[in-house]
């Protein structure tokens, strides 16, 4: 498994998104997925305090056990757990971290991320609180999520002004069907020396090959019967067919293309895909073996541009 950098952290180019832990997966199933990831060489685990109603962190910490020191653990704060636990006020930043440390059964978090901007709090105040946690050795690096270019610039300027730790990463949605980060965020990452972490890299399952035009659709999935049913449009299925054809013409799957295309962007540090089983983890871990040539990347971009995905309207 190759690695890339997030600030001072070395992370596997395929990571494990832990949003299913504590919700769709119980503690036993979580342990099986985590251990399959470790066996596959995955060292980057991304969770959040809101995942699984706080159980994701708990189950991840329990599953890692004595392997905690072998991996990079990223978690997030800021989205509402309840009315009292939310936002980016300095006092809550410290409270949220202590709660996450307890649930994760660890003394430090490798990458602590502000899950969403809080417009009610000056970013300098949040950064100052985070900087204190870095200075105390409870956090190694800090990052953000769901930030736009102007918010990244404002955070960097604030960090310079108050001489605090800087955000070393931003985590936004990015995949073959949702290319919005190409409109500014990726360029800002390059300018500021930040890593980009794409979430929903498989478009909630659409880019796994399970959903094909004219074929029976899997039952009881998030796309066919859940919150992401809006993604299953005729237009998206048409795009998927063209990507499947392209991948198979080169001896690969569309899932492998989804990983390879994201990793062809130099600022992308790790593709954090969720998994429901050990088998899915193994498949995801092996997907990064396809490294797109410049010509292949250009051809994929041409296919997407012809499909109208460049502006990010297909989601």
Distance CA 112, CA 74 (A): 6
SS3 sequence of 68-108: HHHCEEEEEECCCCCCCCCCCCHHHHHHHHHHHHHHHCCCC
Q: Is 228 a catalytic residue?
A: no
Instruction: Give yes or no for a contact between 52 and 21, defined as CB atoms under 8 angstroms apart.
Output: yes
Q: Which alpha helices (DSSP H) does 2-49 contain, by range? A: 27-39
Q: How far apart are the first and last CA of the chain?
A: 30
In this structure, what DSSP letter does residue 218 have?
A: P
Residue reference for tokens 């049913």: 229
Comparing CA positions, the residue from 217, 193, 196, 195 lying closest to residue 206 is 217
Catalytic site residue from 51, 59, 112, 211: 51
Neighbours of 62 (CB within 10 A): 15
Residue reference for tokens 């490798």: 110
Instruction: Give me the residues paired with residue 17 across strands.
Output: 46, 274
Q: How many helices (H) and strands (E) does the chain have?
A: 11, 10
3-state secondary structure of 257: helix
Instruction: Give me the residues paired with residue 273 across strands.
Output: 16
Q: List the catalytic residues.
A: 51
């Amino acid at each position: 498994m190759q690695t890339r950098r997030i600030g001072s952290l070395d992370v596997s180019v395929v990571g494990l998104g832990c949003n299913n832990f504590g919700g769709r997966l119980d503690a036993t199933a979580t342990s099986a997925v985590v251990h399959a990831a470790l066996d596959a060489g995955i060292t980057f685990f991304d969770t959040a305090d809101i995942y699984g109603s706080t159980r994701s962190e708990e189950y991840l910490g329990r599953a890692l056990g004595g392997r905690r020191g072998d991996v990079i653990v990223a978690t997030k704060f800021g989205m509402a757990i309840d009315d009292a636990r939310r936002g980016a006020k300095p006092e809550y930043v410290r409270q949220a971290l202590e709660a996450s440390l307890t649930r994760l059964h660890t003394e430090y978090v490798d990458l602590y991320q502000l899950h969403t901007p809080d417009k009610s709090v000056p970013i300098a105040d949040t950064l100052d609180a985070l900087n204190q946690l870095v200075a105390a050795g409870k956090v190694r690096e800090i990052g953000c999520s769901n930030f736009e270019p102007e918010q990244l610039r404002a955070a960097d300027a604030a960090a310079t002004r108050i001489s605090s730790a800087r955000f070393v990463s931003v985590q936004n949605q990015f995949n073959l069907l949702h290319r919005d980060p190409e409109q500014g965020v990726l360029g800002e990452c390059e300018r500021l020396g930040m890593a980009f972490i794409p979430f929903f890299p498989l478009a909630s399952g659409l880019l796994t090959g399970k959903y094909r035009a004219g074929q029976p659709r899997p039952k009881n999935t998030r796309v066919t019967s859940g919150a992401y049913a809006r993604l299953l449009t005729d237009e998206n299925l048409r795009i998927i067919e063209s990507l499947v054809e392209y991948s198979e013409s080169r001896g690969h799957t569309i899932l492998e293309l989804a990983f390879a295309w994201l990793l062809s962007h130099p600022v992308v540090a790790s593709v954090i895909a969720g998994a429901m089983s050990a088998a899915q983890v193994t498949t995801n871990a092996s997907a990064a073996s396809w490294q797109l040539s410049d010509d292949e990347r250009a051809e994929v971009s041409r296919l997407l541009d012809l499909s109208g995905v460049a502006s990010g309207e297909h989601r």
